Structure 1
Amino acid sequence: MSENQTQPQFALKRVYLKDASLETPAAPQVFTKAWQPEVNLDINTRSTSLDEQHFEVVLSLTVTVKNEGEAAFLVEVQQAGIFLLAGLGEAEAKHTLGAFCPNLLFPYAREAIDNLASKASFPALMLAPVNFDALYAQQLQQAQANGGETH
């Protein structure tokens, strides 16, 4: 092994709630109606380099719940983490930041959303697991289609 090669390293250094909000625009009337929710989940991720080896990854989830066609509540959570990545190739690092890290953050974000919904007096809202590898692959395909061929 040459001196400039580094063994691959990965570590989760910190997990934190960066931002959270809850809106209940239909309260208190929403509590007087039969509960048949329609749940919509929007997911977004972004990563920022903090230095050569540390990255902040932010998983943003927006959950809109409608009941009888009316917005019952809206929860937005930005769950973040600081990750150490070293010795990875560019493609491996992008995949790790775009799929693996959000996968680690998702259970924390899901718990935050469930807690906020419960505190607003709504039934538990346990979001189904998300396949971040598939979402990342889909983003790569869209980027290639929009930007031509990439290598």
Structure 2
Amino acid sequence: MSDASTNAGAGNGAAQTPVQPKMNILAQFIRDMSFENVLAQKGAKGETKPDIQVQVNLDARKRQTEGQYEVVMKLHITNKSKDSGDTLFLLELDYAGIFQVENIPDEQLHPFLLIECPRMLFPFARRIVADVTRDGGFPPLNLETIDFIALYRAELQRRQQAQAAAPATGQA
């Protein structure tokens, strides 16, 4: 009988061993990109003080294959002159990755897809932005690192506020 209890204890210990999360990047690509050099189109010359604004949106969706997800990082970058407010350039980039994700609990999948996956894509998107701005006649724009955790939390808070406001407006 001691053998059975020893085996049962070993079985319980093996069952409690955590399974390690696994992620593979299967592909990454530019889904859409647009660069407008407004400064050159207007024929403007001279030194300008840039005011660069970067907007980041993230999207994730499940693919038909089990465990595969497509994550898209959408960057909208506007460079305006601090002096005149005129737009110097506009860059829009949708950079996507296809990920194979395994052993992630369902309650952790959403934050994983919108934090860890974009973190893996970001260096490549940053390089594209730098190359495109340089090739477009401007100094290369080297984006600062994006805090995807803060971005995720801000989006959750925005959604909660929108849900809290929705019933109030629906009853009025």
Unaligned ranges ≥5, structure 2: 1-14, 165-172
The structure whose residues are more often helix, as a share, is 2
Deviations along 1:18-47, one digit per CA (max 9) or x if unpaired, are 1111011231533x1213100010100101
Q: What is the letter of the counterpart of residue 79 of structure 2?
A: V
Unaligned ranges ≥5, structure 1: none
Root-mean-square deviation over aligned CA pairs: 1.9
d(CA) in 2 for partners of 1:128, 1:45: 17
Q: Does 1:11 align with 2:24?
A: yes
TM-score, length basis structure 2: 0.77
Number of equivalent positions: 145
Q: What is the letter of the counterpart of residue 69 of structure 2?
A: F
Match of 2:157 in 1: 141
Match of 2:123 in 1: 107
The answer on whether the counterparts of 1:7 and 1:87 sit within 8 Å (CA) in structure 2 is yes
4+ runs deviating over 4 angstroms? none
Match of 2:140 in 1: 124
Alignment of 1:18-57 (within 5 A): 18-27=31-40, 29-30=43-44, 32-50=45-63, 51-57=65-71
d(CA) in 1 for partners of 2:137, 2:126: 17
In terms of Rg, which structure is larger?
2
* CA-CA distance at 1:106 after TM superposition: 1.2
d(CA) in 1 for partners of 2:87, 2:153: 32
* CA-CA distance at 1:100 after TM superposition: 1.0
TM-score, length basis structure 1: 0.87
